[in-house]
Amino acid sequence: MKIIIINGPNLNLLGKREPEIYGYQSFETYLKKLKKEFASHHIDYYQTNHEGSIIDKMQDADNQYDAIVLNPAAYTHTSIAIADCIKAIDTPVVEVHISDINKREAFRKHSYIKDIVAHSITGQGLDGYAMAIKWLLKNELNS
């Protein structure tokens, strides 16, 4: 399976950013482990702090990848444009949040993409990315 992980704003600061919420590990360190765990699959990674760049990347990834694992970070709670993009493309998207957005501030409880993604994983730490890939392998390969 060919998968791209797309991370939104401030997720380049994992390890340093609010570690009590997001953990002490950088995404680069975690990604090495993830690639080993799913060595027979192709995993690309892209991070940007810009909303339009997330959309550009998802449009480029459409039909080039079997799936997109997306953590839009704060844009989850604000971006109709990212939600529209997910509706417009064919490639399935799994939403991942490292923290449990349902147990934090009220403004984090609303996800514009929750109802249109193939699946959502919230509050599992960085493991949520591995869980997203496992879900895809179980569900999308057979579809």
Residue nearest to ligand DQA (CB): 73
From 30, 75, 97, 129, the catalytic residue:
97
The site for ligand DQA (CB under 6 A) is made up of 10, 71, 73-74, 76, 97-99, 101, 108
Choice between 64 and 94, CB closer to ligand DQA: 94
22 is catalytic: yes
77 flagged as catalytic:
no
For ligand DQA, which is the closer residue by CB, 6 or 67? 6
Cβ nearer to ligand DQA, comparing 10 with 25:
10
Task: Name residues whose C-beta falls within 8 Å of residue 139's C-beta, 6 or more positions apart in sequence.
Answer: 118, 119
**Cβ contacts of 70 within 8 Å, gap of 6 or more:** 5, 6, 8, 54, 58, 86, 93, 94, 95, 96, 113, 117
Distance, in Å, from the CA atom of 97 to the CA atom of 117, rounded to the nearest integer, reads 13
Give dist(CA 113, CA 104) in Å, integer: 18
The CB-of-99 to ligand DQA minimum distance in angstroms stands at: 3
In total, the chain counts a number of residues equal to 143
Kindly list the catalytic residues.
Answer: 22, 97
